[in-house]
Amino acid sequence: GSSLRTGGHFSRVADIIVAAPPPRAVIASAMSGVTDDLARAVEAAAQRDPGYREIVAALQSRHVDVVREIIPAAAAVTLIEKIERDVEDLNEVLRAAWILRDGSRGTYDMVMGQGEIWAAEILAAILTARGLAASAMDAREVLVVEPSRSRAAPTVDWKRSREQLAAWSAAHPASDVLVVTGFVAATADGVPATLGRNGSDYSASIFAALLDAQEIHIWSDVDGVMSADPRLVSDAVVLESLSYQEASELAYFGAKLT
């Protein structure tokens, strides 16, 4: 997400992907801040705050502006039309949430996953413009999960996910790079689900397994690893160096990359 804040960020990410040796697959998170905005839209609609429409309109312009900035005109038109159709769907779901005063998990899961769909489509379009055969995959068509009743991450149905991946691959031409939506999945009945906040790293691990990847690289646009959480410790500094042992200890204790 932090690596996809602006159009310039998408271009830099595209440079990195173009330079990486194939075969490669990329898991895209939503542009920074987008998932929070989508969650706020559901909350507002369910509380009958008409402000949800402005939140959605602002998200629409933010994505359309990026598309206009970095995607060549012909492809941009198609993508902008797709974004407009998605916005219509979002507004219908949010309108239903308004009528029903419904801020249920199903509504959140459907709406909050939209950021990843747009990010993956924009990334695939810019990679195509760079001359790669790139396909965007909506993970809701492939990844099957069973949502947990607690706040824990959902469990993956590996067998069905493998089957759906095979079916998806058969239906799509081979590509130089696969751009997959992070964070989102679907239940066995096809109902949109998510992997929980910051779930795109989890998506990357799952798809690495599904695609038999040899390595996973997780990118974040940050200055480095800090000595402490700067939101809690005002004199936290970026560390000069970190041993593998220290990094793995930090990871074990759940250090957050944002």
Helix, strand counts (H, E) of the chain = 9, 7
CA dist 135 to 89, 120, 124, 146, Å? 23, 9, 6, 26
Closest separation between CB of residue 166 and ligand ASP, Å?
26
Q: Is 3 in the site for ligand ASP (CB under 6 A)?
A: no
- Run of H or E residues at 159: helix 158-171
Measured CA to CA, the distance from residue 186 to residue 153 in angstroms comes to 13
Partner from ligand ASP, Mg ion, none contacting 199, C-beta within 5 to 8 A by type? ligand ASP
Count of residues in contact with ligand ASP, rule CB under 6 A: 11
Residues in the chain: 258
How many of the other CB atoms lie within 10 Å of CB of 62?
16
Q: Which of 116, 138 has the CB closer to Mg ion?
A: 116
List alpha helices for 172-243, DSSP H: 200-210
Closest CA to 113 of 38, 179, 59, 60: 38
Residues at the contact surface with Mg ion, assessed by CB under 5 A: 1, 29
- Contact present, 86 and 114 (Cβ < 8 Å): yes
Q: Is 1 in the site for ligand ASP (CB under 6 A)?
A: yes
Q: Which two tokens stand for residue 142?
A: 């492939």
Q: Is 197 in the site for ligand ASP (CB under 6 A)?
A: yes
Q: Which of 29, 175 has the CB closer to Mg ion?
A: 29
Binding residues among 27-46 for ligand ASP as defined by CB under 6 A: 29-30, 35
Closest separation between CB of residue 154 and ligand ASP, Å?
14
Closest separation between CB of residue 80 and ligand ASP, Å?
22
Q: Is 7 in the site for ligand ASP (CB under 6 A)?
A: no
Closest separation between CB of residue 245 and Mg ion, Å?
27
Closest separation between CB of residue 131 and ligand ASP, Å?
28
Q: Which stretch binds ligand ASP (CB under 6 A): 5-13, 54-62, 192-200, 241-249?
A: 192-200
Q: Mutual orientation of helices 114-129 and 52-70 as an angle, nearest 10°?
A: 10
The amino acid sitting at 176 is D
Closest separation between CB of residue 258 and Mg ion, Å?
8
* Residues near ligand ASP, by CB under 6 A: 1, 29-30, 35, 115, 182-183, 197-200
